[in-house]
Structure 1
Amino acid sequence: MINFPKDFLWGAAASAPQTEGHSLLNGKSATTWDKWFEMNPEKFNQDQGPKDTSNTYEMYHEDVENMTKIGMNSYRTSISWARLLPDGKTLNPEAVAFYRDYFQDMLDHNIEPIINLFHFDMPWWLMEKGGWEARESVEDFAFYAKTAFEQFGDLVHKWTTFNEPMVHVECGYLLGFHYPAIVDMKKAVQVGYHTLMSHVCAVREFRKSQIDGEIGIILNVLPAYSRSQSAADLKAKKDSDLLNTQSFLDPAVLGKVPVELVELLRENDLLPTVEKGDQQLMADNTVDFIGINYYQPRRVQAPTNPHFPAKMPEDLYEPYDWPDKKINPYRGWEIYPKALYDIAIMMRDQYKNIPWYVSENGMGVADEARFKNADGMIEDDYRIDFMKEHLAMLHKGMEAGSNCFGYHMWTFVDCWSWLNGYRNRYGFYSVDLDNNFKRTVKKSGLWFKEMTANNGF
């Protein structure tokens, strides 16, 4: 039997834009997703845009009831910036009423809400001013954070600023998967820096508010694995760690950007524009905890044909296709549970053993209806095996002294996933898009209930 601490947080994670629906209703203004879908619907899987998603705006009471049915004691979701402050300044009272009722319903069912402020849903009014490229985004975000703390600080005691900030940097400014789909590493670094300072200033507002609670950030961080122990491959690993892991984790926990990262950016003519006082702000506004999203490892090797100065990350490190990998064929992602143990040890040894939790872990599978049994339940044993393998490694890391306080799966109900729409499903509950968003528990949800009841397996 693998047992976890009695106060361990068991739950799931989601976001406002991927679940709420009502994307241009009830006072909410447009985000980049609403506008991009309007401009280029052909980019989205089966014309599935952000309009309805999983209809949580109407079904949140049922969802909270369903959370209790599978043993969840916590749930992480986000607030929509464009819903709470449609023009960036004016409070939307309907949004306040919706979120307050949603969060109170969770509390009434003994489910702790962990509330995130930004999950890739840039308001269009800010995008028109340059989005994260513009320095004014920092204070705009700080004002939004201050407003959220004022409106919900009596209900929410665990806050996070950003979910996976490296993703909106990469996908929006290097890879073309998020609007504005620019490919420019210099801009990507500037966007990353403004995002970091937005996080720092949100933490500043949290401290000033003096509300009861804790604040953190959710990062997709993990140690990179090099192809070999050659000097070139180890340099690629180091550069990958600096850019992808330490760029946000070091300032969030240690209060400073690594000197080696500054040097790497300087020698490649990629340094961002900064303002006087930024370093002190970072030092003064570190986090209380970290959320870590983990799906797949990052394997790297020395670049085969690098440019100097670097124009893309591939000029510093290239992905390495490990021949012995186990693969999830639906996403093309490697399944490597041991990385959770390595992350646990990294947090213990390199980051002051700060409290942290697994804020996302999951397995996306297409066409899950193939696995329905005679009663209409999806028998997703592959997801149960995935959880068991990862939880075993997490437990090993905790036994070694790592300060982990929870585990959240992505996700609770099948949700909309950006350009991919509903192609891959992740939920403990399936969502029938053709039948009024009907929720049906999967086998993994029943296993999760039994596991949480025993606090282990």
Structure 2
Amino acid sequence: MDKFLWGSATSAYQCEGGWLEGNKGLSNWDDFCHSEKNNVNPVTGDVACDHYHRYEEDIRLLSEGGQNAYRFSICWTRILANSQSTVNQEGIAYYNRILDTCEKYGVEPLVTLYHYDMPVDLFKNGGWENRETVTAFIRYAKVCFENFGGRVKYWATINEPNYETYCCYGRGNYPPNVRDLSRRWKAMYHLLLASAGAIVEYRKLNYEGTIGLVSDSYSIESLVDNEQYREAMHNADLFYNRCVNDVAVYGEFPADFIEKLALDYDLSYMKKEDEEIFKKGTVDYLGINAYDRTLVKPYTSGETCMIANNTGDGVTKNSTIIKNWFELDEDPNTQKNAWGCELYPKSVYNLLLDLKDKYPNTPIIITENGLGYYDELVDGKVNDQYRIEFLNGFIDWIRQAQKEGCDVRGYFVWSTMDLYSWINGYKKRYGLVYIDYENDNKRIPKASYYWYKKKIEEELKNDE
């Protein structure tokens, strides 16, 4: 890794659209969004912001905004329509066109293999709860490596094993929409095994590149300093962070994490023969999606329950009780957005120092950081000063962490442009570029887009 990566990020289902084009197969999210279960914000990613047809405009805008890198994901079902299908050459050609366009505009691609979307036949056969999905993913990953490995220097295997399974099996707001932590841990185990297996296969091919995993990670903090609160913080760190990061970096689960799981769950899916794969499939770098801290307090009473604010109504509260582990706390003195995300940029500094302590030899790339908001188009412009303040604070704290020895190699804003925000729909916007969904998906750079260009220029000068 040489130049610092200054970029922004998207994912396939959230931005591409073209859901029935190019011999693409159906995914779990296609299935969910067209079902009665999609009842919170009942919209789909069928068109999204139409990146499938307008990728060149988006990558050109990204480059003109001073960004030298673009993180995007490959849609599994564009490459293999289902678990048994042959390679879809139209899908290969599409992603080669995206890579051509990145090359044309001097943009480094960071390519994620899996960002929540899988072939619907695998999903209906148990998804990540089924070990067969691990085999299918490794096959898919090899196809991608063999077709794009000579063109891509930065790979990420899996996006957010923690957050995806937290939503799928904890909150129950992502498909398969259940609340059962025993199923969560099984799915996460197979996600991590798939990542390690894909890394093993990548290294066999001897490409000149680097490969990692993307982990949503959190600075675990509390408002009280005593033994009970410190124990809650330790448990939350295992629950959100170390269950993924220790495996990615060291190739093994924390012993006390396994001990806690074994008290309540059947872990027979954890096979002895997997240990070698985990050890061989450790990451070259750790991608970190950093948005806010996790504030916790000791568990008091009640059953495990996770509630998400997906409406942005300012009324519904995010709340979490993990029985015998911890509960979420709330600081009444900090500002939050309508979805309950705390606007606390110093959290990334605290997180990076913790990661440096736990994984001192592992480079970090901030693969996502952003702020969801109800952006308004006024007189043809979006003046998102709140996002500028948020992002600027995060970048400044990242630079401070670098000065203190944290090996950070890149920073990606979520997101390149407005897109489908999973269960939150389209009103929650993250983009540096506004998408006018009512006017042929017109692209309108926001104030934050121009600020980010200037910020990158300033940072590059500081690095000289």
Q: TM-score, normalised by structure 1?
A: 0.94
> Per-residue displacement from partner, 1:149-187 (whole Å, max 9, x unpaired)?
011111111000111111221111111111111111111
Q: Which residue of 1 aligns with 2:413?
A: 409
**Letter of the 1:346 counterpart:** D
Q: Structure 1 residue 80 and structure 2 residue 84: aligned?
A: no
> Per-residue displacement from partner, 1:19-53 (whole Å, max 9, x unpaired)?
100112221111111111222275152x4201001
- Determine helix, strand or coil for the equivalent of 1:24: coil
Q: Structure 1 residue 60 and structure 2 residue 55: aligned?
A: yes
Selected match of 1:324 from 303, 324, 333: 333
**Letter of the 1:144 counterpart:** Y
Q: Which residue of 2 aligns with 1:400?
A: 404
Q: Structure 1 residue 177 and structure 2 residue 164: aligned?
A: no
Query: Following superposition of structure 1 onto structure 2, how do residues 367-378 of structure 1 map, counting pairs within 5 Å?
Result: 367-369=375-377, 372=378, 374=379, 376-378=380-382
Query: Following superposition of structure 1 onto structure 2, how do residues 121-140 of structure 1 map, counting pairs within 5 Å?
Result: 121-140=117-136
Instruction: State whether residues 375 and 382 of structure 2, in contact with CA within 8 Å, keep that contact through their aligned partners in structure 1.
Output: no
Instruction: State whether residues 216 and 290 of structure 1, in contact with CA within 8 Å, keep that contact through their aligned partners in structure 2.
Output: yes
Instruction: State whether residues 195 and 281 of structure 2, in contact with CA within 8 Å, keep that contact through their aligned partners in structure 1.
Output: no
> Per-residue displacement from partner, 1:360-390 (whole Å, max 9, x unpaired)?
1111111422xx2x4x111111111111111
Q: Distance in 1 between matches of 2:458 and 2:375?
A: 31
Moved more, 252-261 or 272-281: 272-281
Q: Which residue of 2 aligns with 1:244?
A: 240
Q: Distance in 2 between matches of 1:76 and 1:446?
A: 19
Gaps of 5+ in 2: 305-319
Q: Distance in 1 between matches of 2:33 and 2:435?
A: 22
> Per-residue displacement from partner, 1:198-245 (whole Å, max 9, x unpaired)?
111111111112122010011111231123222222211111111210
Distance of aligned partners of 1:83 and 1:279 in 2 relative to their CA distance in 1, 3 Å threshold:
same
Query: Following superposition of structure 1 onto structure 2, how do residues 313-352 of structure 1 map, counting pairs within 5 Å?
Result: 313-328=322-337, 330-352=338-360
Q: Distance in 2 between matches of 1:227 and 1:302?
A: 11
Q: Which residue of 2 aligns with 1:439?
A: 443
Selected match of 2:395 from 391, 416, 425: 391
- Determine helix, strand or coil for the equivalent of 1:27: coil
- Determine helix, strand or coil for the equivalent of 2:54: helix
Instruction: State whether residues 253 and 286 of structure 1, in contact with CA within 8 Å, keep that contact through their aligned partners in structure 2.
Output: yes
- Determine helix, strand or coil for the equivalent of 2:34: helix
Q: Which residue of 2 aligns with 1:19?
A: 15
Instruction: State whether residues 433 and 446 of structure 2, in contact with CA within 8 Å, keep that contact through their aligned partners in structure 1.
Output: yes
Q: Distance in 2 between matches of 1:307 and 1:434?
A: 44
Selected match of 1:366 from 351, 361, 374: 374
Distance of aligned partners of 1:191 and 1:41 in 2 relative to their CA distance in 1, 3 Å threshold:
closer
> Per-residue displacement from partner, 1:114-151 (whole Å, max 9, x unpaired)?
00011111220101211111111111111111111011
Q: Which residue of 1 aligns with 2:386?
A: 382
Instruction: State whether residues 193 and 272 of structure 1, in contact with CA within 8 Å, keep that contact through their aligned partners in structure 2.
Output: no
Query: Following superposition of structure 1 onto structure 2, how do residues 225-236 of structure 1 map, counting pairs within 5 Å?
Result: 225-236=221-232
Query: Following superposition of structure 1 onto structure 2, how do residues 148-167 of structure 1 map, counting pairs within 5 Å?
Result: 148-167=144-163
**Letter of the 1:237 counterpart:** M
Q: Distance in 1 between matches of 2:2 and 2:402?
A: 14
Q: Distance in 2 between matches of 1:348 and 1:41?
A: 41
Distance of aligned partners of 1:240 and 1:184 in 2 relative to their CA distance in 1, 3 Å threshold:
same
Instruction: State whether residues 418 and 429 of structure 2, in contact with CA within 8 Å, keep that contact through their aligned partners in structure 1.
Output: yes
RMSD: 1.8
**Letter of the 2:430 counterpart:** Y
Instruction: State whether residues 220 and 294 of structure 2, in contact with CA within 8 Å, keep that contact through their aligned partners in structure 1.
Output: yes
- Determine helix, strand or coil for the equivalent of 1:215: strand
Instruction: State whether residues 41 and 49 of structure 1, in contact with CA within 8 Å, keep that contact through their aligned partners in structure 2.
Output: no
**Letter of the 2:325 counterpart:** L
**Letter of the 2:334 counterpart:** K
Q: Distance in 2 between matches of 1:251 and 1:29?
A: 31
Q: Which residue of 1 aligns with 2:213?
A: 217
* TM superposition shift of 1:350: 1.1
Q: Structure 1 residue 423 and structure 2 residue 427: aligned?
A: yes
Instruction: State whether residues 185 and 312 of structure 1, in contact with CA within 8 Å, keep that contact through their aligned partners in structure 2.
Output: no
* TM superposition shift of 1:270: 5.0
Q: Distance in 2 between matches of 1:210 and 1:42?
A: 43
Selected match of 2:198 from 199, 202, 206: 202
Q: TM-score, normalised by structure 2?
A: 0.92
Q: Distance in 2 between matches of 1:234 and 1:449?
A: 41
Instruction: State whether residues 219 and 292 of structure 2, in contact with CA within 8 Å, keep that contact through their aligned partners in structure 1.
Output: no
Q: Which residue of 1 aligns with 2:308?
A: none
Q: Give 4+ residue runs of structure 1 displaced > 6 Å after superposition.
A: none
Distance of aligned partners of 1:234 and 1:270 in 2 relative to their CA distance in 1, 3 Å threshold:
farther
> Per-residue displacement from partner, 1:81-114 (whole Å, max 9, x unpaired)?
0111002241111110100011121022110000
For this pair of structures, how many residues does the alignment match?
445
Gaps of 5+ in 1: none
Instruction: State whether residues 236 and 302 of structure 1, in contact with CA within 8 Å, keep that contact through their aligned partners in structure 2.
Output: yes
Q: Distance in 2 between matches of 1:387 and 1:161?
A: 26
Distance of aligned partners of 1:75 and 1:101 in 2 relative to their CA distance in 1, 3 Å threshold:
same
Instruction: State whether residues 303 and 322 of structure 2, in contact with CA within 8 Å, keep that contact through their aligned partners in structure 1.
Output: no
Q: Structure 1 residue 448 and structure 2 residue 449: aligned?
A: no
Q: Distance in 2 between matches of 1:355 and 1:135?
A: 30
Selected match of 2:363 from 347, 351, 355: 355
Q: Distance in 2 between matches of 1:93 and 1:6?
A: 33
Query: Following superposition of structure 1 onto structure 2, how do residues 258-269 of structure 1 map, counting pairs within 5 Å?
Result: 258-269=254-265
Q: Which residue of 1 aligns with 2:90?
A: 94
Instruction: State whether residues 421 and 429 of structure 2, in contact with CA within 8 Å, keep that contact through their aligned partners in structure 1.
Output: no
Q: Distance in 2 between matches of 1:269 and 1:69?
A: 52
